[in-house]
């Protein structure tokens, strides 16, 4: 069975930027759109809403878990607030299903291109950065573990 190729991180980011451009910089419409994205997020398994999967440094409660299939990570996430749930849904859209290497080296420019910092303020921007850091760290951790397995546990 042939696996369908996922769009690249860059392609997905360009798509998000285009979607936000249709909102013409209207802050209220942009916030509503982000919250709508959060409402469309696939519900996270309640078993994964635990302290281990909580992202530190966020204003709201944010949970993130992932599974690895070969060299790709598949994330799921949730939050207890509508805006933050929308933010995590954007990151899931961009990074979930991507190769670990691509996640590690991803330049996530979509946030600045859509004016995310002005949209959500400094505290939520800090939390958003922690979400990105957590996802990149997960990819790096999995890549290192795979490397150790491939070399028989010997560090190279």
**CATH number of the domain encompassing residue 23:** 3.90.1010.10
What pLDDT is recorded for position 141? 93
Number of domains into which the chain is organized:
1
Q: How many CA atoms does the CB half-sphere of 74 hold within 13 Å?
A: 7
Domain contains 149: no
Domain contains 151: no
Domain contains 152: no
115 lies in which domain range? 9-144
Domain contains 104: yes
d(CA 23, CA 7): 23
For the chain, residues with pLDDT lower than 70 are 1-4, 150, 152-156
Domain contains 100: yes
Domain contains 97: yes
What pLDDT is recorded for position 145? 86
The secondary element (H helix, E strand) that includes residue 76 is strand 72-79
Tell me the pTM.
0.90
Domain contains 154: no
Torsion-angle region of residue 97: left (phi > 0), alpha (psi -120 to 50) or beta? left
What pLDDT is recorded for position 150? 67
What pLDDT is recorded for position 2? 47
What pLDDT is recorded for position 156? 47
What pLDDT is recorded for position 154? 54
What pLDDT is recorded for position 121? 79
């Amino acid at each position: 069975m042939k696996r369908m190729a996922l769009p690249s991180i860059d392609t997905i980011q360009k798509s998000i930027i285009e979607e936000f451009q249709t909102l013409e910089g209207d802050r209220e419409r942009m916030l509503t759109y982000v919250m709508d994205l959060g409402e469309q997020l696939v519900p996270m398994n309640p078993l994964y809403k635990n302290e281990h999967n909580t992202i530190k440094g966020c204003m709201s409660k944010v949970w993130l878990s992932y599974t690895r299939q070969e060299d790709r990570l598949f994330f799921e996430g949730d939050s207890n607030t509508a805006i933050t749930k929308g933010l995590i849904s954007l990151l899931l859209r961009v990074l979930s299903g991507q190769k670990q290497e691509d996640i590690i080296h991803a330049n996530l420019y979509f946030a600045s291109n859509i004016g995310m910092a002005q949209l959500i303020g400094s505290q939520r921007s800090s939390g958003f950065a922690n979400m990105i850091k957590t996802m990149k760290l997960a990819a790096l951790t999995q890549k290192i573990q795979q490397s150790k397995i491939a070399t028989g546990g010997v560090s190279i």
